[in-house]
Amino acid sequence: MLRYLLLALFSATFLCPLSAMAHFQELIPSHDIVSTPSESQLSLSLKFTHPMSQGPLMNMARPVQFGVVGPEGKQDLLATLQSQSIQGAQTFNAQYRIKRPGDYLFYVEPAAYWEPAEGKMIVHYTKVVVDAFGMEDNWDAEIGLPVEIVPLTRPFGLWTGNLFQGVVKRNGKPVPFAEVEVEWRNDGSITPPADPYITQVVHADANGTFSYVMPKAGWWGFAALLEGKKPMKNPEGKEVPVERGGLIWVFTRDMK
Ligand SMILES: [Cu+2]
């Protein structure tokens, strides 16, 4: 009996319902734009979840890389990660103080996640750009992640209804016709009328460029999903395919 209870609990916590298959690594800063010194103490939240469905959370092991590319160059911030358990899943938080004007590209390479429901390992290289004190000088920089979305649209200061465009790159080269999943980070105000509304899907064009108009205020996650060229071992030691995703998060505000 206990065994079944534990199994049920485990499934509820760590397996994903079929209607919420799109996993998104979240990397959400407390401010997307820093304009006053009081906003310069950022906190960043790292969760592996289903943003439009508001969960469930998947367990994150300690990330492989976490850092920022900013006016002082590249900084390793792995040691600043604080782990936190929410609904039985591990998540992370970090604090970062912005000291100089410029664009700060925060990024994470999470540990590979085993998704039994899809029979694959998942690695979502994720970034978010915070602009400080109006410098706007480096938002289109490439961090050099194995899969990365390079924004063509400046990824901050966006209105609701703006078009977001980016180029999907693998090892620095555009990926023609790459699939990009898009989700809005639901605050509870939207109930998707049917499953296809949970995750929007667009393809890049022949040059690897994709476009999406964001219809609501809040955080939008763009996930370019590529199949890794080499398999990876799952926790049982079996070779399985790897989903290598490149994600970027952008924030929109209503014009009012
Ligand atoms: Cu999931």
Q: Is residue 200 part of a domain?
A: yes
The mean pLDDT value for 106-123 works out to: 96
Domain count, the chain: 1
Distance 101 CA to ligand 1 centre (A): 37
Average per-residue pLDDT for the chain:
93
Q: Is residue 7 part of a domain?
A: no
Distance 55 CA to ligand 1 centre (A): 8
Which residues keep their CB under 5 angstroms from ion ligand 1?
16, 23, 58
Q: Is residue 39 part of a domain?
A: yes
Q: Is residue 5 part of a domain?
A: no
Residues 6+ apart with CB under 8 A from 148: 125, 127, 142, 168, 169, 246
Distance 118 CA to ligand 1 centre (A): 10
Residue 16 is predicted with a pLDDT of 64
Distance 236 CA to ligand 1 centre (A): 19
Give the pLDDT confidence of 54-106 residue by residue, as tens digits: 999 999 999 999 999 999 999 999 999 999 999 999 999 999 999 999 999 99
DSSP string, 178-215: -EEEEEE---SS---SSGGGTSEEEE--TTSEEEEE--
Give the pLDDT confidence of 126-176 residue by residue, as tens digits: 999 999 999 999 999 999 999 999 999 999 999 999 999 999 999 999 999
Distance 57 CA to ligand 1 centre (A): 7
Report which of 82, 199, 226 is spatially closest to residue 145, judged by C-alpha positions.
226
Q: Is residue 6 part of a domain?
A: no
Instruction: Please state, in angstroms and rounded to a whole number, the distance separating the CA atoms of residues 18 and 29.
Output: 29
Distance 117 CA to ligand 1 centre (A): 9
Q: Is residue 1 part of a domain?
A: no
Residue 104 is predicted with a pLDDT of 98
Report which of 215, 183, 194 is spatially closest to residue 54, judged by C-alpha positions.
183
Q: Is residue 16 part of a domain?
A: no
Provide the 10 A C-beta neighbour count for residue 238: 11
Distance 31 CA to ligand 1 centre (A): 26
Q: Is residue 85 part of a domain?
A: yes
Provide the 10 A C-beta neighbour count for residue 177: 12
Distance 54 CA to ligand 1 centre (A): 11
Please give the residue range of the domain that contains residue 191.
22-253
DSSP secondary structure code for residue 161 in this structure? T
Q: Facing residues of 121 across strands?
A: 114, 242
